[in-house]
Amino acid sequence: MSDSGPETARVSAPVAIILFGSPGSGKGTQSKYIVDWLGIPQISTGDMLRDHIRRGTEIGVSIASRMRAGTLVPDELVNALVAERVARPDCAKGFILDGYPRTTAQARQMMRLLNPLGVEEVVIHLVVDYNVIIARMQGRRVCPKCGTLYNSVSRPPKTEGICDLDGEKLVVREDDRPEVVRERLEQYEAQTRPVIDFFRQDNHRVFDVDASRERPETVFSRIQGMLADIPGLTVKEVVV
């Protein structure tokens, strides 16, 4: 899967990998690569919220219209979801935060949550050009069953319109409609971009990765290189 050959890796110290970037920057795709590589779970606040909507829970009902419009849901709500999720046993070796934190208030809360856990934190900032994002999101399709993302240009399914993994018919996510995409990007500029400055000022380890031009596999091998350089973080095992 990666360019790094027949090697896999496991984390040796608990790690919180914070995948940061605008809508369409590839956070979900990179998360899935990292899950396979390091064997730690992906915590996607967007997926958790969509799951609540699908199940028609009280939370789901309360956020449905905001999600449809592409606006952020309240900090307290996502903070509580993430706090509950990272306390589960499968997060003991670490986890990937995909789409959280998205406001500086969430980032402060995240610090309060992670400090006592003693995890190594790494922020991976996927940097993507605005026009590239717009083009990407127009071609984006998702499998409603397993959540796999496809893109007509960079990651087409083997058969057009059909999920490679389970044969489901692919759909356009409701908030990928053009007017909603614009709103999501505005929310990102106003509320989320300042979080990266917060991380930098607060002396977090932030890695910028150019995710505009390269293919997702190449972006992933860059991320692997960055993470492998952190002493004690990953243990390489050769697969025979």
Active-site residue numbers? 27, 102, 140, 173, 184
Identify residue 18 by its one-letter amino acid code: I
| Cβ-closest position to ligand ADP | 46
Tell which residue, 232, 217, 218, 224, has the closest CA to residue 7. 224
Cβ-contact 199, 206 below 8 angstroms: yes
- Binding residues (CB under 6 A) for ligand ADP: these are 23-24, 27, 45-46, 49, 66-67, 70-73, 78, 99-100, 102, 106, 175, 184
In terms of Cα–Cα distance, which of 26, 47, 19 is closest to 154?
26
**Min dist. Cβ of residue 75 to ligand ADP (A):** 7
**For ligand ADP, which is the closer residue by CB, 72 or 123?**
72
Q: CB of residue 78 vs ligand ADP: minimum separation in angstroms?
A: 4
Encoded tokens for 80: 């509580």
Q: How far is the CB of 163 from ligand ADP (least distance, A)?
A: 18
Q: Which of 3, 90, 7 is nearest to 43 (CA)?
A: 90
Least distance CB 100 / ligand ADP (angstroms): 4
Sign of CA dihedral 143, 149, 151, 155: negative
Which C-beta is closer to ligand ADP: that of 32 or that of 102?
Answer: 102
Whole-angstrom distance, CA of residue 22 vs CA of residue 25? 5
